[in-house]
Amino acid sequence: MPTLVFDIETTAQPLESFDEVQQEYLLREAEKIPDETLRSNKRDEIARMFSLWPLTGNVVCIAMLNAESQRGQVLYTADDFEEDGAEAGPVEFMPCADEIEMLTAFWDVAKHYDSVVTFNGRGFDVPFLYLRSAVLNVPITKKNWLGYRYSVEPHCDLAEQFTFYNVSGREGAARKFNLDFYCKSFGIDSPKAHGVTGMGVPAMMAAGKQRDVAEYCLRDVRATVELYRVWKERLAGIK
């Protein structure tokens, strides 16, 4: 049964893209702060969080691999979106003209897979993709990835598996760590080892380094594949 492993990268939409009523709604918490400096800092903080919300952010990259064959694609928006067939081994990098083209291509691939693996995909990647696709009227070919939480089919979210569905909360033995920490703990090459983190994606996109973002996203997926193997071999079946 083919298994798709994927990860996404997102950026914020500019505040100016929203009308006055929307801006007031988004910044309402900041406007309650009387001190001007603190109010300005809060506005900046809220604006940075736009990339975490699908109604205020955009998908700029989706990297995906077949867990069994290690073949895959990296879809990313780029100014130079002419298809060049650039590959890194069995992985094809596909620049896209815009988010609609990228999401359409992703769902076209996704329909061929029975199972999906993510790291924190149930809480972030999947709902983000669903809502962005709905906003842009892109047909969704897999609508069951948020199904029954306590099942690994069709969606195995490793962030939930390594915390045993948050059995012990933030401070307990099974507290949640980030992907970098899990990778280092299990001897897997961390995607952060190359000096790039998700926090740096907006600046990289603004600087025209879309291909660097794509390569970083692929490293995340490769690490997720390796962590999935660890889970399957050592932890799968624990209840």
pLDDT digits (tens, 9 = 90+) for 19-48: 999 999 999 999 999 999 999 999 999 999
pLDDT of residue 88: 55
- Structure token pair of residue 169: 């909360």
Arithmetic mean of pLDDT, 66-88: 80
Residue 205 has a pLDDT of 86
Q: Is the pLDDT of residue 89 over 80?
A: no
* Predicted pLDDT at 85: 52
pLDDT of residue 83: 54
**198 band by pLDDT with thresholds 50, 70 and 90:** low
User: So what's the architecture of 3-234 in CATH?
Assistant: 2-Layer Sandwich (3.30)
Domain ranges of the chain: 3-234
State the chain's mean pLDDT as an integer. 93
User: Among residues of the chain, what percentage have pLDDT more than 90?
Assistant: 83
- pLDDT category of residue 80 using cuts at 50, 70 and 90: confident
What is the pTM assigned to this prediction? Answer: 0.93
CA distance 128 to 84: 28
Per-residue pLDDT of 129-184, as tens digits, reads: 999 999 999 999 999 999 899 999 999 999 999 999 999 888 899 999 999 999 99
Q: 3-state class of 134 per DSSP?
A: helix
Return the pLDDT at 52. Answer: 96
Q: How many CB atoms lie within 10 A of CB 97?
A: 12
Over residues 50-75, mean pLDDT:
97
pLDDT classification of 225: cutoffs 50, 70, 90: very high
Q: Is the bond into 154 cis (omega within 30 degrees of 0)?
A: yes
Task: State the residue for tokens 């399957």.
Answer: 232
Which helix (H) or strand (E) segment is 36 a member of? helix 36-48
